Structure 1
């Protein structure tokens, strides 16, 4: 029994889509923090601060996504293993990554997250879940802004 009055099949699809988006958000958060911790070079301070700012924004959205899944009566991620099974973003375990490559990779990953959010929005709209659909608009705008900042920053790198 769901907490809210939605079609169970449509909400199941939406919850699964949101959980994939949530897993990708956690993967992006950790990669952004990884790059924050390991960036080096002449623009160290600027990139270090940019990555930390973006990671904080991503982390804030993870709680909102998970709470939305719970609000519609479903369960969400439970562990790092659950994240790993569901994420579609690739990890980066390289010992060293050039700063300009960090910018490009994070931009690509944020744009991938935008695609995931669009799929979640389609599922929310199909379920008639206006609340989730509206929240997704905000998360999409944030990911697009991060991608834009990374692109513009990388133009001078």
Structure 2
């Protein structure tokens, strides 16, 4: 293992054996939550799909460092990461390996921590995983659900944000 990455054989064993810890990012415009930013990315089971920015944690990586790394890998310097709106994840969810209700990923049982993060500037994708970027409302996502079953995560986050706004 070098730089936090496992060999392909070791990674396959991990994926088949234990839950994998991941971070996802609910990208919003500063002070707004009526739209979220999604990247178009390849999925292992659905082809290219719109999805939250995110991925797995590396060994010894803190959650906030993983969020920062995933942001940089998706956007490079073109889209400035603003402050996280919460020091803790807004939603913690597991992804099943089957296609039951809720988040799913056929490669692995994953535990995902979703952080709400503001983006400043005009987003442009960067790197190999993010193919494109778009803003979407909850109604847009209900009409064309994001990959990995992430609609449930976005709906849970929206409900929590709505409840917080009422307080």
TM-score by length of structure 2 reads 0.25
TM-score by length of structure 1 reads 0.26
The structure with the larger Rg is 1
Higher normalized helix content (fraction of residues)? 1
